[in-house]
Amino acid sequence: MAETDQALPPSDQLAAMNLTDTVEKHAFSDRVLIRSIVGRPDGGAGLAGQRVRAGGWVKTGREQGKGTFAFLELNDGSCPANLQVIVDAGLAVLSKLVATGTCVVVDGILKVPPEGTRQKIELRVEKVVSVGEVDPAKYPIPKTKLTLEFLRDHLHLRARTNTIAAIARIRNALAFATHSFFQEHNFLYVHTPILTTSDCEGAGEMFQVTTLISESEKLEKELIKNPPPSEVDIEAARQVVSERGEAVKQLKAAKASKSEITASVAELNKAKENLSKLEERSKLKSGIPKKDGKIDYTQDFFARQAFLTVSGQLQVETYACAVSNVYTFGPTFRAEHSHTSRHLAEFWMVEPEIAFADLQVWLAS
């Protein structure tokens, strides 16, 4: 997977952009999206002279002019293309800015670069607002060819690569198009459960969801730390209850004061509570709870077996019989033990259901 230097948004996005002389700020920030600068048909040249705040992560950086200034290729994820940023040494320690992965926020003026350069616009920095430093020796995503297997070991940073970012944009566009199509045709979006107790039409092997294993491991550790009471401990607790009960009887027979009897009854209740806890704790056993030789799912979170859904069809059909045209679009899961490109453990699936459907009408349309 090679990281490209520059890329432009699709032509339909370029055509839709409003070519004004004023750069548009982000809706929830003082910064300007890099896409709104370099994504214009003129490459941003029409914005020359504008003062902007830009923020992003350094794709590449290099010091020039014997350390008097530095070039940064800045990307904020709003588009594949980078914004070239020029920082003078008097504004910041350049060695802290040029490392790939460094997060920077800068204020500056957009200027047209000299002829012969591939950039249409660049940012001359007037102020370095903030810097999130990166240790170049430890940062694992260089601007080199990286395999997808390598990126799986660095999940928190892989979205900074062009490939994974492009996949995210494609998925976003496809999801938006899916919802747009159904909404334009008067379908209702239904959220079906991810956790379910049903196997929809035997659609495939299911991932089971259970708390029995974690609870069993937790109990096992707790019993090792605090072993259950022995029969001797329980018998001693019973003896205390008997003694406390006899003491109450004697006080009542002797017509003792109300405060004395109340105090004695409180001690008796406390002894009974302690006995109850000991008896309950003595019944605890490590391991998965079983009944009649089978796993006792009544002790599980849902009091029965539960799974990750393989389909929302059963639930969405019930909505179709109430509100007519419906669809669900969400994650589904398959537990087939096959690690190939044709067998995904998790994928998103569109499932529409139509009441009173007329096939001829749909074919005609």
Q: What's residue 86's pLDDT?
A: 97
Cα gap 153→1, rounded to integer Å: 15
Indicate whether 74 pLDDT > 80: yes
The CB-based long-range contact list for 352-358 (8 Å cut-off, 24+ gap) reads: 352/182, 352/187, 352/325, 352/326, 352/327, 353/313, 353/316, 353/317, 353/319, 353/320, 353/325, 353/326, 353/327, 354/320, 354/324, 354/325, 355/320, 355/321, 355/324, 355/325, 356/324
From the list 30, 5, 172, the residue with the least C-alpha distance to 107 is 30
Fold type of domain 34-132: OB fold (Dihydrolipoamide Acetyltransferase, E2P) (2.40.50)
Tell me the pLDDT of the chain averaged across its residues. 89
pLDDT at 13 over 60: no
Proportion of the chain above pLDDT 70, given as a percent: 92
How does strand 294-295 pair with strand 290-291? antiparallel
Residue showing tokens 């009173």 = 356
DSSP code for 192: -
Confidence (pLDDT) at 362: 61
Q: Look up residue 114 and give its two tokens.
A: 């000299």
Structure-model confidence comparison of residues 288 and 21, the more confident one: 288
Q: What is the mean pLDDT of residues 101-126?
A: 94
Instruction: Give the three-class secondary structure for 144.
Output: coil
Of 107, 97, 96, nearest in space to 54 by CA = 107
Domain spans of the chain, in order of start: 34-132, 148-181, 188-208+305-364, 229-283
Name 261's Cβ contacts closer than 8 Å, sequence gap at least 6: 248, 251, 252
Using alpha carbons, select from 194, 190, 173 the residue that is nearest to residue 333: 194
The predicted model gives 215-225 an average pLDDT of 90
Look at residue 5 and tell me whether its pLDDT is greater than 50.
no
C-alpha to C-alpha distance for 253 and 250, rounded to whole angstroms: 5
Q: Which of 87-101, 199-213, 221-235, 278-292 has the highest mean pLDDT?
A: 87-101
**Residue 109 phi, psi dihedral angles, 5° rounding:** -115, 135
How far is residue 268's CA from residue 262's CA, in Å, rounded to a whole number? 10
Helix segments in the chain, DSSP class H:
11-16, 35-38, 148-151, 162-184, 212-225, 231-253, 258-282, 313-323, 359-364
Per the model's pLDDT, the better-predicted residue between 285 and 34 turns out to be: 34
N-term to C-term CA, the chain: 42
Helix axes 231-253, 258-282, angle to 10 degrees: 160
Record the tokens describing residue 226, joined without a space.
């605090």
The amino acid occupying position 152 is R
Residue entry with tokens 């004061």: 257
